[in-house]
Structures are given as structure tokens and as C-alpha cells.
């Protein structure tokens, strides 16, 4: 009996809390529908480009390697950022696994390296750009370490 009186007193509060929760879920769904395609999100693009640049440098230069823990940490932050914007796990995964987008980022990374003096046929030129990236603490350079 006492429990029923408490419920009666708090019913308006409970109903308004449920309404607010439902409204929040609805507005989140509407916001997600208004998101631009993930490949148009600038911060995500820049972070993935930095990763692609770092990956090309590390694969083509024996004296430079990835800072694995830093790479993992940045990847988790980027995932959380994308989820926070409203992109779903499936959208994120599809984007990261898209062969077309992987090729696009690799091409953009090569363009970046070539513009800085690297040549696809000269590993030392790639190492030189990699060391410059590390020394300049660029987003790609932050993901790398040099052994020389």
C-alpha cells in the first residue's frame, strides 16, 4: 500500500523522464539521419590520411617503424569520435574496409609524399620524408619512430 502511494506521487516525474529519454533517442536518430556521408567528415579524413602516410613510410623505409600503441590509441579515439557524431559501427567498418577508399587514401598518401620530395622508386627519399614528418611532429610523424 505504501509503495502504491509513492508511485502515485512520482508518476508525473517518471512519465516525464520516460518522455525525455524517448525524445533524446528520437533526436539522436534524426541527427544520425542528417549526417553527411562518413567519407565527407573532415577530421576523420585527415586522421585516416595521416595513418595512410605513416603506413606507406613504414612499409617502404626499413629504419622507420610504427608507434604501435600510439596508432592503436589514435584509432580508438577516431572510432569514438565517429560514434559520437552518430555514425554506426557498421558504417565505420564498411568505410574502413572499402577497397575503393583504401585505394583512395593510398593514392592521396603517395601524392603527399611525392609533393615533399619522395619517389616511389627511391626508398631513401621516402625515409628522408619520414624523418622530416617525425621531426616536424606532423599527424603522420606522431605515428612513427626512426631507428637512425
Distance CA 101, CA 121 (A): 24
Helix (H) or strand (E) holding 64: strand 64-66
- Is the domain of 72 the same as that of 30? no
From 63, 75, 44, select the one nearest 145 (Cα to Cα).
63
Domains identified in the chain, total number: 2
Place of cell 539522436: 28
3-state secondary structure of 50: helix
- Is the domain of 113 the same as that of 93? yes
| pTM for this prediction | 0.76
- Is the domain of 13 the same as that of 50? no
- Is the domain of 129 the same as that of 86? yes
Read off the pLDDT of residues 98-147 as tens digits, 9 standing for 90 and up: 999 999 999 999 999 999 999 999 999 999 999 999 999 999 999 999 88
Amino acid at each position: 500500500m505504501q509503495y502504491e502511494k509513492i508511485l502515485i506521487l512520482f508518476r508525473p516525474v517518471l512519465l516525464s523522464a520516460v518522455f525525455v529519454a524517448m525524445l533524446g533517442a528520437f533526436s539522436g536518430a534524426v541527427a544520425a539521419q542528417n549526417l553527411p556521408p562518413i567519407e565527407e567528415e573532415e577530421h576523420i579524413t585527415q586522421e585516416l590520411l595521416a595513418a595512410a602516410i605513416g603506413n606507406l613510410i613504414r612499409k617502404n623505409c626499413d629504419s622507420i617503424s610504427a608507434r604501435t600503441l600510439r596508432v592503436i590509441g589514435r584509432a580508438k579515439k577516431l572510432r569514438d569520435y565517429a560514434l559520437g557524431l552518430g555514425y554506426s559501427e557498421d558504417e565505420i567498418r564498411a568505410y574502413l574496409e572499402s577497397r575503393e577508399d583504401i585505394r583512395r587514401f593510398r593514392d592521396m598518401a603517395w601524392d603527399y609524399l611525392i609533393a615533399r620530395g619522395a619517389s616511389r622508386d627511391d626508398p631513401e627519399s621516402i625515409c628522408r620524408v619520414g624523418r622530416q614528418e617525425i621531426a616536424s611532429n606532423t599527424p603522420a610523424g606522431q605515428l612513427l619512430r626512426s631507428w637512425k
